[in-house]
Chain A
Amino acid sequence: MADAARLRTPATTAAVQRALEGHTRPWSEYIFQGLLFMALLISLGFLLWLLGDIFIRSLPVWTDRGVGSFVGSNLSSDPLKAGIAQGLFGSIVLMGIVVVLVLPIGIAAAIYLEEYATDNAVTRLLNTTVRNLAGVPAVVYGLLGLAVFVAIMKPVDGLNNGRNLLAGGLTLAIVVLPIVIITAAEALRSVPKPIREAGFGVGATKWEVVRSHVLPYAAPGIFTGVILTIARAFGETAPLLLVGAAAAGFGQAANATVFERVFGPYTALPTTIFSWARQPQEEFKALTAAAIVVLLAVVLIINAIAIILRNRYERRW
């Protein structure tokens, strides 16, 4: 009681009255909100500046050379002739390998972890391993690719000492595998229990329930995750450098057979960008920017598709 009496000073009475009538918000509120808005603006602004700058920088390539000449030409030390044909070919083959390997293994692993695994020590070990693998820097997977995949291919593939597209694709596949498992598991987890129970109720086995009840509902989520992962693998550079994707120009004949392209020296779009960005000549800046525009177009279109898919098929239970 004494405390309450002590609080009732003219100053506190006035403050309480002001707060209750509450017309003017103090300036500090507006300044705080302004600062937060600035933070958002700066983080978005920088990246929009990046997109705009690179696009403008690439314009001379599109107007002077045309899309066909740039996309259809091989690497060259002459900036007027250099193009991204080999890089694009390499990236497409790499993505093919990644999808073929990661799609079945990633989804199967997610199904095991979500549908089959009981809560025991083995399951916890699997879950922790997958989550931690997702946080390992991609460049470390490059070392693994170098020590394991390239070493295995070396005796078989004499064209480039085992540094071939297959080794690169395997490396990229293990980079993204944990991410696919995590997103697929999340999609499976979002399918409610009663759906499964309905299946068990009519005598279906576990696999029958998974196949006919769980997977159809989880499919949009799983495929969104896989699509986003492919976009990420498309732009991944560091592990490819370690497993020997050419970072400088390489002398592959223009009429190389598909066999030579897959098992010989190779490059990918991001490694092409990396090597061009390091060229001191000013002409290569426009080329680099143009190659980045192609890379970003692919990555951003894939992302946009995934987001549209997610919004269209997203289901609230």
Chain B
Amino acid sequence: MTASQHAPLTIGDLRGSRRRRQRELIIRSAFFLAAATAVLISLLIVLTLIGEAISFITRVDPAALISGSWRPRADSYDLASLIAGTLIIAGIAMLVAAPLGLGAAIFLAEYATPRVRRTIKPILEILAAIPSVVLGFFTLTVLSPQVIDRFCPGSTPVFNMAAAGVAVGILITPLVASIAEDAMYAVPNSLREASYGLGARKRMTSLRVVFPAAVSGIVAALIVGLSRAIGETMIVALVAGGVGGAVFNLNPCLPGQTMTAAMTAQAIGSDQAAGGLAYSSLFFVGFVLFVMTLALNLISERFVRRIRSAY
């Protein structure tokens, strides 16, 4: 068979059969639909949250929003007391998790032998997987009565924000350590060698060379930790002592309530008829929480993108 007897080859000949092309298109569309469910889910979240939040805002008595306490059953919806509780608990958590997590990360990335690192890293990852309800129970039975109450004498025993904050801090420490360690471990060795070459010791190299080089990853680790601390629910629901409602206060040794725990407290309280004001308030709180964590995630993504382009 000689080529001259046939028409010249066109793109159409290389495209394969019609059936094959159709199958490709169907599969591609199915995969696209799967990916699009993510957008669908976030649209659903935003729409349901905004819908009920608006219904809450329009129906609530403005005086109830600055009443100084969050007690949905008494029709008092002081968002400031929830935000205060959230920020105090997340703040205490960061005071615990930042030094512990970053210290552990520097040790693993810079000081530990490869063998120690290989053993400890998976352990950290497994510990990061402990469900938070477990840590809540431990705080309730051990951490709060035996440790925290010593530092908070004469205040509300067991159920207070300090206990919840420390527990949330312990919960997020492995996460912070793991992400920060990844960032520092990724710093190229040439930087360390240059530093040693100039006569710097290990501490100087870790703190003044590796740490700044990995700073975007470290900041991202802290922001992810903070976002997790703000979104943490079960520890606060068990330990912070705000199940029946909470008064605005800034003293960590007293009970408080976070946005997350306020949502579960209502859900387990009684059957809230859809459409009631208390039911709508759930979504209003959820909307504020969603916006806060979204902002934190967007910021951390900025930092992560910077670390990716660095080396």
CA gap between A140 and B124 in the complex, in Å: 27
With contact pairs A109-B35, A270-B131, A274-B238 given, residues A43 and B104 touching in the complex (Cβ less than 8 Å): yes
CA gap between A57 and B140 in the complex, in Å: 13
Query: Within 8 Å of chain B (Cβ to Cβ): is A35?
Result: yes
Query: Within 8 Å of chain B (Cβ to Cβ): is A9?
Result: no
B28: contacting residue among A116, A131, A304, CB under 8 A: A116
The answer to whether B49 and A303 touch across the interface, beta carbons within 8 angstroms, is: no
Query: Within 8 Å of chain A (Cβ to Cβ): is B303?
Result: no
CA gap between A106 and B231 in the complex, in Å: 23
CA gap between A133 and B294 in the complex, in Å: 9
Which B residues are CB-close (under 8 A) to A112? Answer: 28, 31-32, 34-35
Query: Within 8 Å of chain A (Cβ to Cβ): is B163?
Result: no
Taken residue by residue from 77 to 114, chain B's Cβ proximity to chain A (1 for < 8 Å, 0 otherwise) reads as 00000000000000000000001111110111001000
Query: Within 8 Å of chain B (Cβ to Cβ): is A222?
Result: no
A interface size (C-beta, 8 A):
93
Which A residues are CB-close (under 8 A) to B202? Answer: 29, 33
The answer to whether A147 and B48 touch across the interface, beta carbons within 8 angstroms, is: yes
The answer to whether B134 and A273 touch across the interface, beta carbons within 8 angstroms, is: yes
Query: Within 8 Å of chain A (Cβ to Cβ): is B298?
Result: yes
Secondary structure type dominating chain B contacts: helix
B132: contacting residue among A32, A53, A237, A242, CB under 8 A: A237
Taken residue by residue from 34 to 48, chain B's Cβ proximity to chain A (1 for < 8 Å, 0 otherwise) reads as 111111011011001
Which B residues are CB-close (under 8 A) to A153? Answer: none
The answer to whether B127 and A44 touch across the interface, beta carbons within 8 angstroms, is: yes
Taken residue by residue from 284 to 305, chain B's Cβ proximity to chain A (1 for < 8 Å, 0 otherwise) reads as 0010011001101110110000
Query: Within 8 Å of chain B (Cβ to Cβ): is A12?
Result: no
Chain B: which residue is nearest A185 at the CB level? B35
A10 CB to nearest B CB, Å: 19
The answer to whether A242 and B267 touch across the interface, beta carbons within 8 angstroms, is: yes
Query: Within 8 Å of chain A (Cβ to Cβ): is B282?
Result: yes
Query: Within 8 Å of chain B (Cβ to Cβ): is A195?
Result: no
Which A residues are CB-close (under 8 A) to B264? Answer: 139, 142, 238, 241-242
CA gap between A274 and B27 in the complex, in Å: 44
CA gap between A236 and B37 in the complex, in Å: 22
Comparing A59-67, A174-182, A256-264, the segment that makes contact with chain B is A174-182
With contact pairs A147-B283, A242-B264 given, residues A57 and B141 touching in the complex (Cβ less than 8 Å): yes
With contact pairs A143-B49, A143-B286, A277-B238 given, residues A295 and B104 touching in the complex (Cβ less than 8 Å): no
CA gap between A249 and B76 in the complex, in Å: 29
- Among B163-211, those with CB < 8 Å from A are 170, 173-174, 177, 199, 201-203
B48: contacting residue among A148, A181, A285, CB under 8 A: A148
Which B residues are CB-close (under 8 A) to A104? Answer: 34
CA gap between A172 and B230 in the complex, in Å: 20
Which A residues are CB-close (under 8 A) to B250? Answer: none
Query: Within 8 Å of chain B (Cβ to Cβ): is A111?
Result: yes
The answer to whether A299 and B31 touch across the interface, beta carbons within 8 angstroms, is: no
- Among B261-290, those with CB < 8 Å from A are 263-264, 267-268, 271, 274, 282-283, 286, 289-290
B interface size (C-beta, 8 A):
88
Comparing B1-9, B16-24, B59-67, the segment that makes contact with chain A is B16-24
Which A residues are CB-close (under 8 A) to B34? Answer: 104-106, 108-109, 112
CA gap between A102 and B274 in the complex, in Å: 29
With contact pairs A238-B260, A277-B238 given, residues A43 and B227 touching in the complex (Cβ less than 8 Å): no
CA gap between A212 and B226 in the complex, in Å: 42
A172 CB to nearest B CB, Å: 13
A173 CB to nearest B CB, Å: 10
Provide 24 A-B residue pairs closer than 8 Å at the C-beta atoms, listed in order of the A residue: A38-B103, A40-B108, A43-B101, A43-B124, A50-B142, A54-B134, A57-B141, A105-B37, A109-B31, A112-B31, A112-B32, A116-B28, A117-B35, A131-B297, A140-B231, A142-B267, A148-B48, A207-B24, A235-B134, A274-B133, A295-B131, A299-B129, A300-B129, A304-B126
Q: Residues on A close to B: CB < 8 A?
A: 19, 25-26, 28-29, 32-33, 35-40, 42-44, 46-47, 49-50, 53-54, 57, 104-106, 108-109, 111-113, 116-117, 125-126, 128-133, 135-144, 146-148, 151, 161, 174, 177-178, 181, 203, 205-207, 228, 231-232, 234-238, 241-242, 244, 247-248, 270, 273-274, 277-278, 285, 288-289, 292, 295-296, 299-300, 303-304, 307
Q: A36-B106, A237-B131, A241-B264 are in contact. List 14 more A-B contacts (CB 8 A).
A: A44-B127, A50-B130, A54-B137, A128-B301, A131-B301, A132-B42, A132-B294, A133-B42, A140-B231, A237-B132, A241-B267, A273-B133, A274-B136, A274-B234
Closest 3 CB pairs of A and B: A39-B103, A235-B131, A137-B231
